[in-house]
Amino acid sequence: MRVTIFGTGYVGLVTGACLADSGHEVLCVDVDESKIALLRDGHIPIYEPGLESIVHSNVEAGRLAFTLSAKEGVDYGEIVMIAVGTPPDEDGSADLKYVLEVARSIGEHMAAYRLVVDKSTVPVGTGDRVETAIREALQARGVDIPFSVASNPEFLKEGAAVEDFMKPDRIVLGVEDRQAEALLRELYLPFQRNHDRTITMGRRSAELTKYAANAMLATRISFMNDLANLAERLGADIEDVRRGIGSDARIGYSFLYAGTGYGGSCFPKDVKALIHTARTEGTELPLLVAVEQVNAQQKSVLVRKARAHFGSLAGKQIALWGLAFKPGTDDMREAPSRTVLEALWSDGAQVVAYDPVAADECRRIYGDRDDLTLAATPLEAVRGADALMVVTEWKEFRAPAFDELRKRMRHPIVFDGRNLYDGDMMRRRGFEYFGVGRA
């Protein structure tokens, strides 16, 4: 099948590359000339394990191509996916400017039937607005060309997006007509040879499903963080509690880890957008308001612990392990590390940070600062440190050379924001250890 994808960001690029890798012919459209030039050479502007090799091989095979021309894109594929950004406005609502610009462009250029698919995470009712924008553009041209609009939300985890796309848990099809459903089922046939993973529903239900999924996961994280703060006061260990409740099949273990809160491009934005959607409909979602509040407070939990321990952080040298909001990505959008960095600087501390892939992103965000050093290795980051803060749970942090770590630090104090280490073991090795939710 021939597919056009508007947007070569995280969702658009992963979708395009994986569809091409299954044999479809894909043309991706973007307005960024430098990004298109990079992609045409088989390279990618983001860090995502396994993606660059797929992009390179499919560009070489001729199944994946890139263009700056919207008209070329609309002419190319019978299926046209919209995967552009929906950044949050100040009130928390999703900005649909780019989505609707693409919709109008489709209406201005289409000459035959097109299935237009919302791949971006969008508020409920966006499919209706896309349909209206396309129809108005067609009317302005004085033509009547059939088209369909569907919702096909993505459920990709950064750091595991290729695996998620190739072996999906479910494929949600929000459709309003049989032709759209048939085309999408054919498109995804290569990804469900084992069994049918498609779940078909109305367009608005599909739009809400995406928000509901992310809101549920965010709720589990904030619930555990709230419970962790109580566990500390009660003399309980949240890790034991996690295992105790996770063994219940009705609950499960996923997203039950206490820590420094959630970040990234999805959970914060989608929780805000769902709260805003409810308010525009004249109702409230008090549970999600609480989820957001708990998360905002939890991002500074390590700094609060350090202040309580040291009294003042002025002049202290703090080593920071982890800058990305999660392992497997260089994404620092809404990352807990940013809250930690900015609070430490505000208190007058010096920071030496290490992250295996996000150092360049940190440099792009903060520039050169006298109070920030980006180390080349984890052990380099802790040399002379008054304390170590573990913010992101990269695998290489799980079993460091503890004796060497202790020797290099000025004071062997560890604030473990991901509960990677056993507190008793750390104390036996000569560290002062502070976890999250651990007595």
Secondary structure E strands in 14-119: 25-29, 64-67, 79-82, 114-118
How far, in Å, CA of 54 to CA of 391, rounded?
31
Contact 78, 184 (CB under 8 A): no
The tokens for 16 are 């395009």
Secondary structure E strands in 108-238: 114-118, 147-151, 171-174, 198-201
Helix (H) or strand (E) holding 135: helix 126-141
347: left (phi over 0), alpha (psi -120 to 50) or beta: alpha
The tokens for 79 are 């299926």
Residues ≥6 apart with Cβ < 8 Å to 347 = 303, 307, 312, 313, 314
3-state secondary structure (DSSP) of residue 371 = coil
Residues ≥6 apart with Cβ < 8 Å to 53 = none
Contact 348, 315 (CB under 8 A): yes
Q: Which of the residues 18, 28, 266, 362 is marked catalytic?
A: 266
How far, in Å, CA of 240 to CA of 227, rounded?
12
How far, in Å, CA of 13 to CA of 17, rounded?
6
CA distances from 341 to 84, 269, 277, 332, 335 (A): 30, 21, 32, 12, 10
Tokens 């990804």 belong to 191
How far, in Å, CA of 383 to CA of 379, rounded?
7
**Neighbouring C-beta atoms of residue 209, cutoff 10 Å:** 19
Residue 18 bears catalytic tag = no
How far, in Å, CA of 47 to CA of 116, rounded?
28
How far, in Å, CA of 52 to CA of 55, rounded?
5
Name the residues annotated as catalytic: 266
